[in-house]
Amino acid sequence: MEEIYTLTIELESGMYAEHPWKRVIETRESMDLYDLHLYIQEIINFDNDHLFEFFVGRNWGNRKVVFRDEDEFGFEEVRSLDTALNELYPLNGMKLFYHFDFGDSWMFTIKKARKKKNLVKEVQYPRVIESEGENPEQYP
């Protein structure tokens, strides 16, 4: 049976980020990074109109593995956005980061809870289970 991951998505910085913003979501372990991008765009109420990437590293300046459409910047290891969460985790001491709009630099840290849950057939995933802070304005 497919398991459910609990992810905490926290806004670290962005051009117009004025207040803390955090969402805790539950999603299927088979969700890929492209669909996670689309869901983050939906829950923060942004227009999906800029480039983005995910990367794994110890911090923002330490990129070990980058996930994007193609290797435009010469990183050693670039992987596809169709990588599923259950192919990505565990990260072994690393963190997952999401960078949207390279000009305005909306930066998010994504943390996975250690405990997995069983899928509940009556529940529609992904879903927000905890919300902190108002959505920032993408274009004030």
Report the greatest alpha carbon distance in the chain: 44
The one-digit pLDDT tens for each residue of the chain (140 residues) are 789 999 999 999 999 999 999 999 999 999 999 999 999 999 999 999 999 999 999 988 887 888 877 655 555 566 789 999 999 999 988 999 999 999 999 999 999 998 889 999 999 999 999 999 999 999 98
Q: Which domains does the chain have, with CATH numbers?
A: 8-117+127-132 (3.10.290.30)
The residue type of 20 is P
The residue type of 45 is N
| DSSP H helices in 26-135 | 33-44, 85-88
With tokens 């902190």, the residue in question is 132
Q: What is the predicted pLDDT for the residue at 66?
A: 82
Cα distance between residue 23 and residue 3, in whole Å: 20
Contact 29, 84 (CB under 8 A): yes
Cα distance between residue 32 and residue 114, in whole Å: 19
Cα distance between residue 61 and residue 82, in whole Å: 24
Evaluate if pTM is beyond 0.85: yes
